Structure 1
């Protein structure tokens, strides 16, 4: 019925309208349908396509995976807040304050035979962490600068992170706030899933944005990403690969940080220095400024991710018992 109505309408068209329809200029799409136009159009299209392909850049293993601007701005804003932490909250570590993991400093360290020694405690269940690893080639220079500045004033009141274990925490398959139990087979499946992620992640070129001292006494290196797969993207990929992982992770998605040292007590101030709380904080700022003067802007490359089972509490930070799977970042274009 519909077809018949259309045909009837067409037959009732006025003759003048038919003349106008016949003389109306063809559309662009109509013109391209002519054989002569096709002969011209197809080679031109092929030429443009080839030109675009030839101009496509080759893959750089350290090339940015996403635009850096917004992420680096978020990172800089976060680092600014962390730098203000000591002024806003005070030096809680001088008052026996809690650590970032709700543990008292006395729970973690003791002085034995004139040296600071960690108190290792079994983690039940073990923590399963994914961390980026900083090669000692780069870590050694940082550790040297930190010790030169801080050791003269703290001696037995400071714990220096083992420079062979400098790392950047990325994502936890299980942590102390939300333990996720796993069998040995499930752990091996997690390792395989993380390995597939690392095959698609590009090595990072990073630069030390600044060093800060927190209210809990931790000396942190805060890093910016020059190129490679951004930490936010790495965490997102790990989240997809490890669906059973705790919903609440321990760190901001853009954060890239390394612990260099932990202050355990007050400094040995020169006699002329103010020994009040304000004086201590001012003194700490001076030491941090010295470290930044030595290694601010320091550049490094990161090419490994570790899947770590921590059998002791804070094993990575305290040289505790752990099992490490070292996975190289592959930057596989096929992924």
Structure 2
């Protein structure tokens, strides 16, 4: 599924903070268990303009079919989610900053397949018609929550990357759940079949409860994607949502794009080298440590941030990575109805 990005915005941070470890030089631990005081966008004094989104398939998308899972019970789903996140947090240490070498993405696409560079140096997305269109079901985050996250990310990263970074569109933060058709296993559908899928998904959403989620941690992957990894405090768990969508969409690809317990969204995509601190020489520069310190600053700002998710979108992407690259798409917005008699 997509990649998520936005336009650049002026912001600044204390560059001296990166000359010494800010929080830690290793991958951040979960702050979920610490139960921080809930942060709410209602207390924030900023709002950021919407821009364009980037959600990149990451290497932990276990191309796996989804069994029927009930997260209410042993807690194994939450444990599995925590283990998955710990693995994802180690990726940068294990693989290094591969994105600085211009390697392929996890979709076997190079950055040059996804972006062009304008005359002023700004990165602009390349759009290509998707044949057939991708049909995706995603949970949607309200921009009032996304704006707080985007502000923190831009404050920390923008001073060091200028136009070599693409931020997620604050009006399009989303969590990929389940594909009725994707680029690896296209399932062609007529207009009538698509409408039948939409009605089936509507039936599912009537029995889904809104999710209260908390940001477990922020990580940077070896492919340059800054990810927010979330835990669920209440509501219908993503594992159960995917299981119900599987039952409602029997024609969907058996191999899906994400681990059943994963709940993530992309905050930004790094597309080039950072500007080095003035006192730092390129030969002695430790990229991994530098990125860990930036990520540690973001975690200090927003780890433990809470949000409520009350919509699921059925999206037809007419362009490749349309959700990611601001391409052509058709969106059906469905409210999570929480009919408890059906749960």
TM-score (norm 2): 0.77
Equivalent position of 1:155 in the other structure:
162
> Does residue 302 in structure 1 map to residue 302 in structure 2?
no
> Structure 2, unaligned stretches of length 5 or more?
1-69
Q: Give every structure 1 segment of 4 or more consecutive aligned residues whose post-TM-superposition deviation is greater than 4 Å.
A: none
How far off is 1:73 after superposition? Answer: 1.0
What do the CA deviations read for 1:71-96 (whole angstroms, capped 9, x no partner)? Answer: 11111100000011111111111111
| Alignment CA distance shift 1:121-1:149 (3 Å) | same
Looking at secondary structure, tell me which structure has more helix per residue. Answer: 1
Equivalent position of 2:268 in the other structure:
261
CA contact (8 A) 1:161 1:318 kept: no
SS at match of 1:309: strand
How far off is 1:315 after superposition? Answer: 1.1
SS at match of 1:165: coil
Equivalent position of 1:77 in the other structure:
83
Equivalent position of 1:87 in the other structure:
93
Q: CA RMSD in A?
A: 1.5
CA contact (8 A) 1:65 1:228 kept: no
Highest RCO, 1 vs 2 (Cα 8 Å, sep ≥ 6): 2
Equivalent position of 2:109 in the other structure:
103
CA contact (8 A) 1:111 1:156 kept: no
Q: Matches of 1:301 and 1:171 in 2, distance apart?
A: 20
Equivalent position of 1:9 in the other structure:
none
SS at match of 1:334: helix
> Does residue 170 in structure 1 map to residue 148 in structure 2?
no
> Does residue 123 in structure 1 map to residue 144 in structure 2?
no
CA contact (8 A) 2:71 2:77 kept: no
SS at match of 2:282: coil
| Alignment CA distance shift 1:223-1:68 (3 Å) | farther
| Alignment CA distance shift 1:137-1:238 (3 Å) | same
How far off is 1:113 after superposition? Answer: 3.7
Equivalent position of 1:217 in the other structure:
224
Q: Matches of 2:235 and 2:94 in 1, distance apart?
A: 34
How far off is 1:121 after superposition? Answer: 1.2
How far off is 1:334 after superposition? Answer: 2.6
How far off is 1:155 after superposition? Answer: 0.8
SS at match of 2:79: helix
- Give matches, 1:250-329, under 5 Å: 250-273=257-280, 275=282, 279-329=286-336
How far off is 1:222 after superposition? Answer: 0.2
What do the CA deviations read for 1:217-238 (whole angstroms, capped 9, x no partner)? Answer: 1000000000000000000000
What do the CA deviations read for 1:101-133 (whole angstroms, capped 9, x no partner)? Answer: 221011111221422211111111110000000
Equivalent position of 1:133 in the other structure:
140
How far off is 1:271 after superposition? Answer: 2.8
CA contact (8 A) 1:209 1:222 kept: yes
Larger radius of gyration: 1
| Alignment CA distance shift 1:304-1:283 (3 Å) | same
Equivalent position of 1:41 in the other structure:
none
> Does residue 196 in structure 1 map to residue 173 in structure 2?
no
How far off is 1:68 after superposition? Answer: 6.9
SS at match of 1:205: strand
How far off is 1:312 after superposition? Answer: 1.0
CA contact (8 A) 2:313 2:334 kept: yes
